[in-house]
A and B are shown apart, each in its own frame.
Chain A
Amino acid sequence: AQSVTQLDSQVPVFEEAPVELRCNYSSSVSVYLFWYVQYPNQGLQLLLKYLSGSTLVKGINGFEAEFNKSQTSFHLRKPSVHISDTAEYFCAVNNQAGTALIFGKGTTLSVSS
């Protein structure tokens, strides 16, 4: 069965530092991979997605992610974070039937000055 593991539950960083949020997945079928962001007391917003093709995908707010099939990873990166990036980030993969997304448990990114 498909599953998603977000390797860090919390990531504290200083403003303007680079950040990487790690996501590993397991799947026996072709995958679609997604990253979502959730700001406090809000719903989730799509940051970026990988469907096929180029393994480096760019999303909103300066985020990018790299799909690595051999390592079954889809890590999210940003070269320089802002205070406003403080939020919870979720990695997701389609389930085996392709009918729904399976989410990781989330990574809380805390950016301080």
Chain B
Amino acid sequence: DAGITQSPRHKVTETGTPVTLRCHQTENHRYMYWYRQDPGHGLRLIHYSYGVKDTDKGEVSDGYSVSRSKTEDFLLTLESATSSQTSVYFCAISGHREDGYTFGSGTRLTVV
């Protein structure tokens, strides 16, 4: 999607290893979000950020941490990957909550 990129697009990792997913935006938007998408669950919020160094937890934050040291980058880290974290991860950005979100293309993560 224009203005937001996620990397990597696909990743396979082993149980117990740390993994970092990156979300990069060029829109200078204040808000950034990490969701995971799983069949039958829709999208569930992991963490979000409302500014540099300002982050908060979502409904499924256990086992995940985030960092935002620059406006344009929002990193999601799985501290010790587990098979239950196999999922598709989406980053989203928003300038104002009335605008809704712009989503990235997603990262498909498989933990084996």
In the complex, the answer to whether A100 meets B48 with C-beta atoms within 8 Å is: yes
Task: Give residues 56-112 of B contacting A (CB, 8 Å).
Answer: 56, 58, 90, 92, 97-98, 100-106
Q: Which of chain A's residues has its CB closest to B40's CB?
A: A105
Q: A43-B106, A46-B100, A51-B98 are in contact. Are A99 and B42 (CB under 8 A)?
A: no
Q: How many residues of B contact A (CB 8 A)?
A: 25
Q: Is the interface of B mostly helix, strand, loop or mixed?
A: strand
| Contact count A vs B, C-beta below 8 Å | 53
In the complex, the answer to whether B42 meets A90 with C-beta atoms within 8 Å is: yes
Q: Which of chain A's residues has its CB closest to B91's CB?
A: A43
Q: Chain B 15-55 against A: per-residue CB contact (8 Å), 1 yes, 0 no?
A: 00000000000000001010100001111110010100000
10 A-B pairs besides A36-B103, A99-B50, A106-B42 with CB distance below 8 A are A32-B98, A43-B1, A44-B92, A46-B102, A49-B100, A99-B31, A99-B97, A100-B33, A101-B100, A105-B40
